[in-house]
Structure 1
Amino acid sequence: MLVPSCDPPSRTDGYGVTDARAGWGKQLRLPDFFIIGAAKAGTTSLYDMLARHPGVFLPSRKEPEFFARDDLYAEGIENYAWMFDPARPDQLTGEGSTLYSLSPLFPDTASRIARHVPQARFIYVLRHPVERAYSFYIQLVKNYQNATGDYVVHRRFEDFVLPEFHARAAPRAKVLAPFNAHFPDTPELCLAGSDYLMQIRAYLAHVPRERMLFLKFEDFRRDREAVTKRVCDFLGLPPMEGHPAEAGRRNVSRDHFDRLGEQLAMDTLRNRAGLLWKFRGMLPTSLRQRLRERALARAPRVEFLHEPPAMLPETRALLEQRFAVQIPELSQLTGLDLAEWGLDLPRDQMHPTAVLDANRFPALR
């Protein structure tokens, strides 16, 4: 989508790139569509699949986060638009910042997009809200471990979402990666992205309903081809050639913790083997691999601290109460069948303003 430039260019953009191509008053190429989330709902896989469509150009940076973050937005629209310059005139452009569905943590996102790209379309993938919130927590842990090399989990999920425990939990420097510095460390960090009605209403205040496509993560996992066809139809694109499943899974946290657990187990074996470890390279590769697998299988079970603990049943129950009240309206607004989420609780068990009371969690006290 071409729009006129309205802001003078700055010298260096917030992405660490100096770009003198953008001139004041030139036509800017901006996204035709946005995949706004939800985080941990398959948006990376969807983005990768759309990037393979010949009629679509997507930048290598999936999540530029320009319209959500005040620091990046202050740099000016030109410092965002340059990443869409390589698109051909006959291609649609888009991006996939999941920060765009984290209202009220980033409250100006929808209005900013509407100001600069008033004809844009929006794709929003929903996932079981409690599962999504916990998965987002897992991603935060993974980000911190990858960025710092500190593999101890310093906060449980409850330490993030229970206000009382959050107040005395490990400091943000021990739980949030440096590149997540823009995240506010509040109990809503993991939960706001699952408040789908809040996010949708933020956009409907600025764009008509027909320019929003709602998808379900669970449908995407079952039948990527059908969901991808819906996306192409929504964007006015011809069907994709090839099978969408070829894009594979992306951004799977389970793989990270499995690899890390194996690495830590090997470190333990290395320490036990002592000097013998140095001579392992003298063995044939096939024999070395068999010995390695046998040693790992026979190694005593070590409880590593690298893997986040499971969500407590009490937490799940209370969060289900919080989100269940949204289901009837959410289903009607999105046109999605949400019955498989299992949140159709009796009305007397729905608590839209449920407080995560620490007194209900004696095991954590």
Structure 2
Amino acid sequence: MNKLPDFIIIGAMKCATSSLHEQLAQQPGIFMSELKEPNFFSNDEQYAKGMDWYLSHFQDASPNDLCGESSTHYTKLPTYPQTIERLQKYLPQAKFIYVMRHPIDRLISQYIHEWSQRVISVDINQAIYQHPELIEYSLYTKQLTPYFEAFEQEKVLPVFFEGMLTNSQEELERICQFIGYKSQAKWDNELAASNVSNQRMIKSKWRDLLVETPGLKQLRRWFIPKGFRDWVKTFWTIKQKPELSSENIHYLENIFNEDLAILGNWLGIELSCNNFKQTAKQVSPNWNQAKK
């Protein structure tokens, strides 16, 4: 019988969950699914494949391995409303890791991702009104509350993106302790950061065909200078980091500060958009027992 995952990185989207997935996969005795985001419990089309399909992603794990996967769709309310119910049914024993980033930075990074996937085509200042998910996925307490209601709060580990980048080794050790890893974890500085948003290229079927077809790929490298190839790439890459207007920054800060005040209360710290980055670099967050 295939193993069930012991833990899941549930998000948030664009908070270095891919990098964390890869770092955990490097640790002896930890098995991470090769498909980084199975999205089994969130996406109906994946859930329809059945539990055997999901468990097949862990079939190569050794009996004593800790198993994990990373699906940021699991904290994308209201887009995937059945996630918690399905997780409760099949993985009541699982632990969850939730990585949080400055909410506006996360929103901008998601915008770039959605732009590259042709989901969003309008300017970011229009997008925040036309695509409410940009804001919703940064409302961390809204995404966490259903997990607290369905599982014990202690089964969810809060992690700050900024703290993980600043104190990588210490945060990896804390994460590994949470999932029950008994060996010494080691952060691998050689692993490149995954999914760098400002290097994303907009989706193009014909370009991808030319780039990825094995024979054509080799010919391209032989006969087309790298400088010219890099210049061509600029036609598909976002030209500059999207900039929010001062009015919209103020609008978003008002929304996110309400959510961060609740999150700060849960963690026993003061949190706002203004102090988030500095605080996140200095604090290893844990739930405040007195204020649960």
TM-score interval (norm. to shorter):
0.7 to 0.9
Match of 1:244 among 188, 194, 197: 188
Name the amino acid aligned to 1:103.
L
Residue in 1 aligned with 2:260?
A: 327
**Which amino acid letter does the alignment assign opposite residue 220 of structure 1?**
M
> What's 1:160 paired with?
127
Q: How do 1:217-236 residues align onto structure 2 when only pairs under 5 Å count? A: 217-236=161-180
1:37 equivalent in alignment to 2:4: no
Question: Once the 2 structures are TM-superposed, how far is the Cα of residue 317 of structure 1 from its aligned partner?
Answer: 1.2
| Aligned equivalents of 2:4, 2:140: Cα separation in 1 | 26
Structural mapping, 1:252-263, within 5 Å: 252-256=196-200
Q: Following the alignment from structure 1 to structure 2, what is the Cα–Cα distance between the partners of residues 111 and 241?
A: 33
**2:259 and 2:174 mapped to 1: Cα distance?**
25
1:207-356 alignment to 2 at 5 Å? 207-256=151-200, 306-307=237-238, 309-334=242-267, 338=271, 341-342=274-275
Residues 103 and 202, structure 1, Cα contact 8 Å, conserved in 2: no
> What does 1:64-213 align with in structure 2 at a 5 Å threshold?
64-144=38-118, 154-162=121-129, 166=130, 187-213=131-157
Change (3 A) 1:32 1:242: closer
Q: Quick one: structure 1 residues 47 and 337, their matched pair in 2 at CA, closer, same or farther if it must change by over 3 Å?
A: farther
Cα distance between partner residues in 2 of 1:159 and 1:65? 29
Can you list the C-alpha shifts for 1:111-160, whole angstroms capped at 9, x where unaligned?
21111011100000001111111110111122349xxxxxxx83112332
CA–CA distance in structure 1, aligned partners of residues 8 and 275 of structure 2: 29
- What do the CA deviations read for 1:52-94 (whole angstroms, capped 9, x no partner)? 0111111111001010012221232112111111111100111
**Structure 1 pair 214–335 and aligned structure 2 pair: CA distance change class (3 A):** farther
Distance in 2 (CA, whole Å) between partners of 1:238 and 1:341 is 38
Task: Give the deviation of 1:241 after TM superposition.
Answer: 5.0
Q: Deviations over 1:238-282 (max 9, x none)?
A: 35454432323111022336xxxxxxxxxxxxxxxxxxxxxxx8x
Contact 2:31–2:65 under 8 Å retained in 1: yes
Q: 1:248 to 1:209 in 2, by over 3 A?
A: same
SS of alignment partner, residue 111 of structure 2 = helix
CA contact (8 A) 1:214 1:336 kept: no
For the Cα contact (< 8 Å) 2:30–2:67, is it kept in 1? yes
AA matched with 1:121? K
Closer, same or farther: CA 107–318 of 1 in aligned 2, 3 Å: same
Change in Cα spacing, 1:304 to 1:117, as seen in structure 2 (3 Å) is closer
Q: Percent identity?
A: 32
Q: Which residue of 1 aligns with 2:212?
A: none
The 1:125–1:336 alpha-carbon spacing in structure 2 relative to 1, beyond 3 Å, is farther
Shift of 1:332: 2.6
Instruction: Please report the RMSD computed on the Cα atoms of aligned residues, expressed in angstroms.
Output: 3.0
- Displacement of 1:313 in angstroms is 2.1
- Residues 94-125 of structure 1: CA deviation (Å, up to 9, x unaligned): 11000001012111111211110111000000
Q: Which 5+ residue runs of structure 1 have no aligned equivalent?
A: 1-26, 146-152, 167-186, 258-280, 282-287, 297-302, 344-365
Q: Relative to structure 2, which stretch is displaced further, 74-83 or 305-314?
A: 305-314
**Distance in 1 (alpha carbons) for counterparts of 2:50 and 2:191:** 34
Q: Distance in 2 between matches of 1:246 and 1:112?
A: 37
1:123 is paired with a residue whose SS is: strand
C-alpha separation in 2, matches of 1:246 and 1:341 = 32
- Give deviations 1:167-212, integer Å, cap 9, x for gaps: xxxxxxxxxxxxxxxxxxxx22212110111111111111001111
Question: Gaps (5+ residues) in structure 2?
Answer: 202-222, 277-292
Displacement after TM superposition at 1:335 (Å): 5.1
Give the distance between the partners of 2:185 and 2:78, measured in 1 at CA.
39
